[in-house]
């Protein structure tokens, strides 16, 4: 039997990373809910955001947390533009074509990064990188605590945006009834692009919260994309609460898996969940029936 | 209806006869290798086209099957001394089984589109992690297949041997696809692609149909992996299960024309011509060829969703329309 | 031939089918009628296996269909058309019909020949090599009929094959349906075009809010002004009478 004192920090650690997973998955699930496609460039766009935050810090000395509005706005702009001018024009009446384009974009972004910045792993150092909070039973590094609180805060803001604003209502209307929403005068192309932009803005914020305790490399998207996909499948495609819950579950699973099985096989615990969900509940914990 | 069918048969015959003497005519090792590789990617693309082009199930992780075949034959040869030809067959079987498992998992609930693409991509990634972890797959270092020159070990003395082997495989696939277009199974597969509910209402079982397609597609991609291993004598997790093979497998038929017999062949030669030009212009740098592939994929889907064959069809249609217009004016 | 017994189906709080029972006689043409949203298509979806009923039973030649997949039910001999036409858009008309023809024909040539024969029968002969996507509304309705017919069904479920057609097109399709019945196929149709119902069917059931409210020959139903006014809308009784006299003159 493992000591409680080992288990608890692992769970807390899992919750902090899980909150980041949830934030990334929220962006993915928002895009899925509205456009009914999985954005395969999601991981690559996160990687791009991480590089952006990294260079803001290393070139201009801007603290990652201060860079948050810039990163969110930049990723929003990129997402909006991609959807409006490339992805949205690719469908030709078939969703599969949109999938292919997001795959193509991810290949472009990832390999361009590989070409420009090589495959080196880069980290940044901030004054608070090694600060810890003492919770009595466990120590939590400050950046991870900030990431946890920040991710939950953004999730709450997103929830408000979706439920309390006209934009949120338009997005939900379009997600539910495409034809109907168009008939009542919703500018579908604009709203699709807004959704994609907001989904990507989540990545910008995630990058700022992540970098102080993480690293960046051209392949970093891979690590997150599989996790984010699993979170979305686990939570139920298109479900907000599901993404949040799924993120935390996956975070803890990964952390505990790493504790018991070691780092690289710990990732397989996530995959096991992926298969189990597909086997027994392909619509996810909170997803609607397909 | 009979005529275009027969025309395809003649085209396959002409294709085979034109390429057959090529190794005797091409003296340059470079160009022979180039054509051989184009044939290899045509073969891989044919595997993808079966499921993606005819079945409408877009796999984003065909490396899953390719890599399984490659590792299967390499591991059997290195650890158990099994003959490469037997390994070739077993690779196809193993990849077919992986295909069946994947298909069973996804198609059982009628999950399609995003889900299928996602699951294939995720499975390929997981297999990459597994291959990276275990010692018998050589972990991150990969596996070096011992050099045993000779046709009996599928390691031909000259490149011409590989060329002919791949030509036989590609032509076999052309014939298979041709048959598919004129068989009940093909009709059902295309019906499922076009409209699953309508197909069910006509007595087509979409689960069985798609399952058979993914098994066949996986087995072919796996056998391509077996050939790859003997051609390059090396495999590692990145090559086997990385995104590069998956992207090439889908790009080749998309460039040529999805759901057409000759699409993958046309696409493979077009892609490798473009890739070669890309190498000349931008030089060799890690990642750049894949950037080019990504750009091609986006451009094709945006502007030529029916591939080069679609361009031809569009061209013919336009010409016919112009002729009719001209006739009306005259 | 087809016995529907105490069938019920709910979607959330909505009762789509409420304790519906009826029996279709072999060799007949009968009709399910009723206002929009009455639950007609939902009953078809349950017979053809696309929806599973919550309660009740459906028996076809003595075999219970509850729980069977649509493809299995089609093999048993029930073919349906869709109210919203579902062509295989990327295939030609001939290839579309051949998918149905393949149900009992393994060979390609046999299937294509049968597809051609069926196409001639429903008047799609000249359009055999057109892509299905290029057909007009009337053409698509005929294709829907042809695909189902090509499976050699014993029972054909026709879901509003005349909706969206103009009177001339309806006049063309009525004899086609009658011809199908004469070749030994039992037909159950959902139809809004009253003229067609009066003209074709021997028996009709009226459905409203998921439940059966009347049953009888079309003339019996037409003679029941209360039913007509209440469930087919104001003025429907007059329309049906007009249709009936027209049918008698025809």
Q: Give the 3-state DSSP-derived string for B182-204, with helices as H, strands as E and coil as C.
A: CCHHHHHHHHHHHCHHHHHHCCC
Contact yes or no for B205 and C94 at CB 8 A? no
**Which residues in A80-114 are b (16+ Cβ under 10 Å) and which e?**
bebbbebbbbbbeeebbbbbbbbbbbbbbbbbbbb
- Whole-angstrom Cα distance, residue A203 to residue C98? 49
d(CA A106, CA A97): 14
Q: Are C91 and B190 in contact (CB under 8 A)?
A: yes
Rounded mean pLDDT of B188-216?
Answer: 95
Strands (E), A162-253: none
Q: Which chains touch A (3 or more CB pairs under 8 A)?
A: B
Q: Most B CBs within 10 Å: which of C48, C108, C151, as the mutation test of the B interface?
A: C108
C106 in contact with B, Cβ within 8 Å? yes
- Residue in chain C nearest B199 by alpha carbon: C99
C-alpha dist (Å) from residue C131 to C92, C121, C169: 4, 19, 21
* Band of residue B1 on the pLDDT scale cut at 50, 70, 90: very low
Residue-averaged pLDDT of chain C = 87
CA distance A224 to chain B (A): 11
Per-residue pLDDT, averaged over A37-52, amounts to 91
Interface chains of chain B (3 or more CB pairs under 8 Å): A, C
Contacts with B244 (C-beta within 8 Å, 6 or more apart), sequence order: B63, B238, B290
* CA nearest neighbour of C1 among C62, C87, C80, C69: C62
Q: Where are the domains of chain B?
A: 5-297
Q: How confident is the model at residue C187 (pLDDT cuts 50, 70, 90)?
A: very high
CA–CA separation, C156 and A38 (whole Å)? 39
Chain A: give the shortest CA distance to residue B257, in Å: 13
| Residue among B61, B114, B124 with most chain A CBs within 10 A, to mutate | B114
Substitution target in B49, B244, B291 with the highest count of A β-carbons within 10 Å is: B291
pLDDT of residue B242: 87
Contact call for C99 and B191, based on CB within 8 A: yes
| B179 to chain C: closest CA residue | C108
The CATH architecture one would assign to domain A4-280 is Orthogonal Bundle (1.10)
**pLDDT tens by residue, C138-177:** 899 999 999 999 999 999 999 998 888 888 888 888 999 9
Cross-chain CB nearest to A96 (options B58, B111, B285): B58
Closest CA to B102 of B211, B235, B27, B17: B211
| pTM, to two decimals | 0.88
**DSSP secondary structure string for all residues of A79-137:** HHHIIIIIGGGS-TT-HHHHHHHHHHHHHHHHHHHHHHHTT--B----TTTT-EEE-SS
Nearby residues of C231 by Cβ (< 8 Å), 6 or more positions away? C34, C35, C38, C206, C208, C213, C214
Q: Residue C184 pLDDT more than 50?
A: yes
Contact across the interface for B201 and C79, Cβ inside 8 Å: yes
Reported as a pLDDT band with limits 50, 70 and 90, residue B3 is low
Closest by CA to B174, choosing from B7, B11, B1, is B11
Architecture per CATH, domain B5-297, reads as: Orthogonal Bundle (1.10)
pLDDT in tens, B64-109: 999 999 999 999 998 898 888 999 999 999 999 999 999 998 888 7
Q: Are B104 and B123 in contact (CB under 8 A)?
A: no
pLDDT greater at residue B291 or residue C12: B291
Among the partner-chain residues B194, B198, B206, the one whose CB lies closest to the CB of C90 is B194
Q: If you measure CA to CA, which chain B residue comes closest to A97?
A: B301
| A78 token code pair | 């990129």
> Taking residues A37-57, what's their average pLDDT?
92
Please write the tens of the pLDDT for every residue from B13-42. 999 999 988 888 888 888 899 999 999 999
Percent of chain B whose predicted confidence (pLDDT) is above 70: 93
**Residue B4: predicted pLDDT:** 66
Rg for chain C (alpha carbons), in Å? 18
Alpha carbons within 13 angstroms on the beta-carbon side of residue A46 total: 33
Which structure tokens are listed for A40?
């395969």
Ramachandran class of B140: left when φ > 0, alpha when ψ lies in -120 to 50, beta otherwise: alpha
pLDDT of residue B283: 76
Number of A/B CB contacts below 8 angstroms equals 121
Burial class (CB in 10 A: 0-12, 13-18, 19+), C168: exposed
ipTM above 0.90, yes or no: no
Q: Quote the minimal CA–CA distance from B249 to chain A in Å.
A: 13
Provide φ and ψ at B142, rounded to 5°.
90, -175
- R_g (Cα) of chain A, nearest Å: 19
Residue A44: pLDDT band with limits 50, 70, 90 = very high
């Amino acid at each position: 039997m493992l000591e409680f004192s080992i288990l608890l920090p692992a769970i807390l650690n899992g919750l902090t990373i899980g909150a980041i997973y949830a934030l990334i998955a929220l962006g993915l699930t928002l895009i899925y809910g509205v456009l009914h496609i999985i954005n395969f460039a999601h991981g690559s766009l996160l990687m791009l955001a991480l590089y952006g935050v990294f260079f803001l810090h290393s070139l201009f000395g801007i603290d990652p947390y201060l860079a948050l509005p810039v990163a969110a706005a930049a990723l929003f702009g990129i997402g909006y533009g991609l959807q409006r001018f490339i992805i949205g024009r690719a469908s030709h009446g078939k969703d599969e074509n949109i999938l292919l384009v997001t795959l193509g974009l991810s290949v472009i972004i990832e390999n361009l990064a590989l070409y420009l910045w090589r495959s080196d792993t880069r980290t940044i150092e901030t004054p608070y990188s090694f600060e810890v909070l003492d919770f009595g039973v466990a120590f939590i590094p400050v950046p991870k605590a900030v990431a946890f609180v920040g991710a939950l805060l953004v999730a709450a803001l997103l929830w408000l945006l979706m439920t309390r604003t006209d934009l949120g209502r338009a997005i939900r209307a379009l997600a539910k009834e495409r034809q109907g929403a168009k008939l009542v005068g919703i500018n579908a192309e604009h709203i699709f692009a807004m959704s994609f932009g907001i989904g990507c803005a989540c990545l910008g914020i995630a990058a700022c919260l992540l970098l102080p305790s993480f690293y960046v490399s051209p392949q970093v998207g891979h690590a997150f994309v599989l996790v984010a996909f699993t979170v979305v499948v686990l939570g139920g495609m298109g479900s907000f609460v599901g993404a949040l819950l799924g993120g935390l579950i996956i975070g803890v699973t990964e952390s505990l898996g790493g504790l018991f099985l070691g780092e690289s096989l710990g990732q397989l615990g996530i995959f096991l969940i992926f298969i189990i969900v597909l086997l027994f509940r392909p619509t996810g914990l909170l997803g609607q029936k397909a | 209806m009979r005529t275009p069918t027969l025309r395809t048969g003649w085209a396959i015959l002409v294709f085979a006869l034109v390429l057959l003497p090529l190794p005797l005519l091409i003296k340059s090792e470079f160009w022979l290798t180039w054509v051989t590789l184009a044939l290899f990617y045509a073969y891989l693309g044919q595997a993808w086209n079966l499921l993606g082009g005819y079945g409408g199930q877009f796999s984003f992780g065909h490396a899953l099957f390719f890599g399984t075949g490659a590792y299967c034959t390499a591991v059997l040869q290195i650890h158990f001394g099994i003959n490469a030809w037997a390994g070739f067959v077993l690779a196809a079987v193993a990849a077919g089984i992986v295909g069946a498992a994947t298909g069973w998992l996804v198609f059982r609930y009628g999950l399609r589109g995003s889900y299928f693409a996602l699951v294939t991509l995720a499975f390929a990634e997981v297999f990459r992690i597994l291959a990276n972890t275990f010692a018998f797959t050589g972990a991150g270092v990969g596996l070096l297949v011992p050099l045993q020159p000779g046709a009996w070990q599928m390691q031909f003395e000259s490149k011409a041997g590989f060329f002919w082997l791949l030509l036989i495989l590609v032509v076999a696939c052309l014939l298979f696809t041709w048959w598919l277009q004129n068989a009940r199974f093909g009709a059902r597969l295309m019906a499922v692609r076009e409209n699953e509910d309508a197909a069910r209402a006509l007595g087509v079982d979409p689960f069985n149909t798609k399952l058979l397609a993914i098994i066949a597609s996986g087995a072919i991609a796996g056998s391509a992996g077996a050939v790859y291993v003997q051609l390059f004598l090396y495999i590692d997790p990145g090559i086997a299960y990385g995104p590069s093979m998956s992207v090439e497998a889908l790009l080749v038929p998309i460039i040529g024309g999805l759901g057409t017999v000759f699409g993958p062949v046309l696409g493979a030669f077009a892609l490798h011509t473009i890739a070669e030009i890309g190498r000349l212009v931008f030089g060799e740098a890690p990642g750049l060829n894949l950037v080019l592939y990504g750009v091609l994929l986006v451009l094709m889907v945006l502007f030529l969703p029916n591939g080069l064959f679609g361009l031809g069809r569009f061209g013919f249609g336009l010409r016919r329309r112009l002729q009719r217009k001209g006739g009306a004016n005259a | 031939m087809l016995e529907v017994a105490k069938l019920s189906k709910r979607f959330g709080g909505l009762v789509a089918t409420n304790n519906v029972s009826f029996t279709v006689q072999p060799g007949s043409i009968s009709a399910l009628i009723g206002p929009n949203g009455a639950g007609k298509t939902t009953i078809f979806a349950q017979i053809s296996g696309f929806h599973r009923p919550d309660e009740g039973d459906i028996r076809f030649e003595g075999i219970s269909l509850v729980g069977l997949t649509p493809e299995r039910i089609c093999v048993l001999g029930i073919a349906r058309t869709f109210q919203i036409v579902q062509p295989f858009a990327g295939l030609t008309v001939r290839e579309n019909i051949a998918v149905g023809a393949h149900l009992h024909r393994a060979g390609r040539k046999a299937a294509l020949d049968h597809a051609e024969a069926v196409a001639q029968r429903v008047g799609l002969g000249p359009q055999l090599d057109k892509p299905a996507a290029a057909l007009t509304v009337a053409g698509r309705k005929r294709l829907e009929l042809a695909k189902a017919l090509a499976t050699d069904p014993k029972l054909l479920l026709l879901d509003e094959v005349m909706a969206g057609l103009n009177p001339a097109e309806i006049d063309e399709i009525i004899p086609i349906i009658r011809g199908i019945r004469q070749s030994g196929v039992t037909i159950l149709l959902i139809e809004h075009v009253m003229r067609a119902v009066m003209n074709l069917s021997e028996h009709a059931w009226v459905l409203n809010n998921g439940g059966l409210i009347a049953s009888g020959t079309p003339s019996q139903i037409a003679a029941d002004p209360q039913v007509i006014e209440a469930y087919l809308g104001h003025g429907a009784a007059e329309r049906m009478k007009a249709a009936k006299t027209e049918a008698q003159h025809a």
